[in-house]
Structure 1
Amino acid sequence: MYFDSLKKLQIGNEKQKKAYEAIRKLGIVRDLSAFHPIICGTIPIGIDVEASDLDIVCEVEDFDLFEQMVVHLYKKRKGFRVKRLTVKGIDSVKVNFFWEGLEFELFGQSVPSYLQPAFQHMVIEHYIMGKTPHIRAQVINLKTKGYKTEPAFCKVLELEGDPYEALLQYGKKEGIV
């Protein structure tokens, strides 16, 4: 399934357009092009809430190089921080900072960007809302009550187990990912 989240931002609602302009002005897609960045998360599909950040997944093979680059590019941005972690057995790096009123979260793994769970979840969630539009309001309502996105979708869809894995299994069953 083709999904151009940057294009969705450019032609979307006011917050999406604001995110698009911030991305464009910052030059983050261009500057990180070697890491195949993909904008993902709740903002591109219009289910963000006040505290939602702008997620960008990256394919990172050389974590030292990636860290050096993001430190060079974004260290002066408000709230800048870099954290290395392991997620489900995969070495990862997470970078956060604020710019133009948005929190950016870069997430890198040595996995192609389009195969990373954050991107796949977004594509699945977009598909679900296209198939059953009434779910959008229910998910946003749960998110305003403190639910994370994937658990909110699973609650609405009555999917059991680990919500992150359950959503991926749903996507595989539907032939989305």
Structure 2
Amino acid sequence: MFTTIDYLKHGNERQQKAYHAITHLRVMKDLADYQPVLCGTIPIEIDVESSDLDLIFEVHDFTRFQEKVVALYGQMQDFKISQYQIRNRPIIKSNFTYEGFEFELFGQAQPVDEQNAYRHMMIEHHILNEHPYLKQSIITLKKQGYKTEPAFCKVLGLEGEDPYSLLLKYGEERGII
């Protein structure tokens, strides 16, 4: 699920605009070797005006990926690219703006369906399918400045220090992921 962006073609207005921007840039084709997947709030329709397009990639050769991303998108508005570690895992991230969207290209040496961004989205999608009445509460919290995972934890009553880990645990305990 969500392994292509075809569903965006027939989605809401913002999803259709996202589809146009992504396809016009040829991200899915030009970076196909890295198994790109669009994650985040736009695919599951809980986005707010400031929501970006989060594309994740399986990247083992960071230097080659960086060269390709710079060649393809280096001229884009607000372009930047960096490498650092998250939870002791090396990552590469590029951001830029195109057609009114902030793009975030996020790569790590892990299959995309095992990356936390994908796993979180699948859990959130499942929760919204099971409890559609929570959607507006999530959007309201996001408009108040909450990040997505903390918003889900708040409406689900999950408490603890790290909402990102709490949401993964929730999904694992229920067999969602």
Give TM-score, length-normalised by structure 2.
Answer: 0.97
Answer whether contact 2:76 2:97 (CA < 8 A) is retained.
yes
Answer whether contact 1:3 1:123 (CA < 8 A) is retained.
no
Whole-angstrom distance in 1 between the partners of 2:36 and 2:6: 14
**Offset of residue 4 of structure 1:** 4.1
Amino acid in structure 1 at the alignment position of 2:63: D
**For 1:134, what is the secondary structure of its paired residue?**
helix
* Residue equivalent to 1:114: 113
How many residue pairs match? The answer is 176
* Residue equivalent to 2:46: 47
**For 1:111, what is the secondary structure of its paired residue?**
coil
Q: Which runs of 5+ in 1 are unaligned?
A: none
* Residue equivalent to 1:171: 171
* Residue equivalent to 1:96: 95
**Offset of residue 7 of structure 1:** 2.8
Answer whether contact 1:5 1:44 (CA < 8 A) is retained.
no
Amino acid in structure 2 at the alignment position of 1:175: G
Q: 1:5 to 1:144 in 2, by over 3 A?
A: farther
Answer whether contact 2:2 2:38 (CA < 8 A) is retained.
no
**For 1:64, what is the secondary structure of its paired residue?**
helix
**Offset of residue 3 of structure 1:** 3.6
Whole-angstrom distance in 2 between the partners of 1:172 and 1:71: 37
* Residue equivalent to 1:150: 149
**For 2:5, what is the secondary structure of its paired residue?**
helix
**For 2:83, what is the secondary structure of its paired residue?**
strand
* Identity score, percent: 50
Amino acid in structure 2 at the alignment position of 1:174: R
Answer whether contact 1:59 1:112 (CA < 8 A) is retained.
yes
Whole-angstrom distance in 1 between the partners of 2:176 and 2:60: 26
Whole-angstrom distance in 1 between the partners of 2:81 and 2:169: 31
Amino acid in structure 2 at the alignment position of 1:139: I
Whole-angstrom distance in 1 between the partners of 2:5 and 2:89: 26
User: Runs of 4+ in structure 1 displaced over 2 angstroms?
Assistant: 2-5
For the pair 1:159 / 2:158, whether they are aligned, the reply is yes
Q: Which runs of 5+ in 2 are unaligned?
A: none
**Offset of residue 5 of structure 1:** 5.7
Give TM-score, length-normalised by structure 1.
Answer: 0.97
